[in-house]
Amino acid sequence: MCIWLLFAVLSPYFFTQSNLTNILVQSSSIALLALGALLVVIVGSLDVSLGSTVGFCTVVGAVLFRDHPELGWLVVPVMIAVGLAIGAVNSLVIVTMRIGNAFIVTLGMLYVVQSLSYVVSGGTQVPGMPDYVLTVANNHLFGIPGPVILVLVAGGLMSLFLNRIAWGRWVFAIGGNAEAASKVGIPVRKVLFSVYVIAGALAAITAVLTAGLSDAGVPETGFSILQAIAAVVIGGASLNGGRGSVWATIVGAVILGSITNGLVLLDVSPNWTPFAIGAALITAVGLDALRQEIERRLQLRQAQMQAEVS
C-alpha cells in the first residue's frame, strides 16, 4: 500500500485507469506462476524449474502450430500436458525416489528444460500462436482484460481447493509438520506428488498466457521464477512451509508489477528495478521474521500465565 501511495504522489499518471489496467495485465503472468510456486512453498519446498517450464511449454506450442497449423486446437492441451509431465518427473524423483533436496532436483530440471527449449526452438523465438490463444490473452470480457480473468479464475479455484476441501488442509498440515501429518493418516507422499504436478500445470497455463501476449514461443523466461517466489514471500507465505495465501500472493505479484511500472513512469533507469524489487523482498522477509518473533513471545507469555494460574 505504501508503494502505491508513493508512486501516486510522485506521478500523476500512476492511478489512472489505463495505467492500473496495464499493471494488472503485466502482473498476470507472474501471478499465475506464483500460484504454482505458492503450493510448493506451503509444503515447505521450492520448485525453481517452473520458470523454465513456462519457456519450454511456449516453445512446444509455437513449434506445433508452426509445423502443423491444422492442429492448432491441440496447442493448449499439449502445452498443459508438457507442464504436467515435467511436474510428474519432479514428483517421481523427489517423492517416489525419496530425494530429500527438492531444490537441487528442480534446479537440475531447470537446466534440462531450459536446454530443451533452446534445442527445440533453435535458440530463437518461434512466432505464431492460434487465434483462440491470442483472444484469451488480448481481449476483454465485460471490460476486464482476459489475463486478469484468467488469474481470478485460477486464484478462485486454488483458494477453493486449499480452504474448502481436505486436500488443502493436508497441504498446510504437511508444510507445518510432515512427520506429524503422516502419523495422523495424511497420505503425505500422494499429496506431495500432486503438489508438484499441479505446479507444473500452472506453469503451463502461465505459458499459454505468455505465448498469447507475445504471439510466440519464447525460450528465455527462466528468470521469472525468481519474481514468482518473491511475489509469494511478499504475499506473506513462509518459506518454512505451513502458511500462505492465494490472494495475498496475487497482491504480491501486483506489487512487483507496480514497482516496475512506477519506476518507468518516473523515468528511472531499468537498472534500478532489480534493486527496488530486492529491497521490497528483504523488507517483506524482515517483517515476517518480526511477526514470528512477536508471536513466539506472545505464546511464551501465555504459557507462563497459564503456568502461574495452575
Q: Tens digit of pLDDT for each residue in 57-98?
A: 999 999 999 999 999 999 999 999 999 999 999 999 998 888
Per residue in 222-258, is it b (16+ CB within 10 Å) or e — as a string?
bebbbbbbbbbbbbbbbeebbbbbbeebbbbbbbbbb
pLDDT (0 to 100) of residue 69 = 93
> Percent of the chain scored above 70 by pLDDT?
98
Cα(170)–Cα(180) distance, rounded to whole angstroms? 11
* Residues 275-303 pLDDT 10s: 888 888 888 878 777 877 887 888 888 87
Q: Which residues, including other chains, have CB under 8 Å from residue 279's CB and lie 6 or more apart?
A: none
Q: What is the pLDDT of residue 223?
A: 56
Q: Would you kindly state where each structural domain of the chain is located, as residue ranges?
A: 31-304
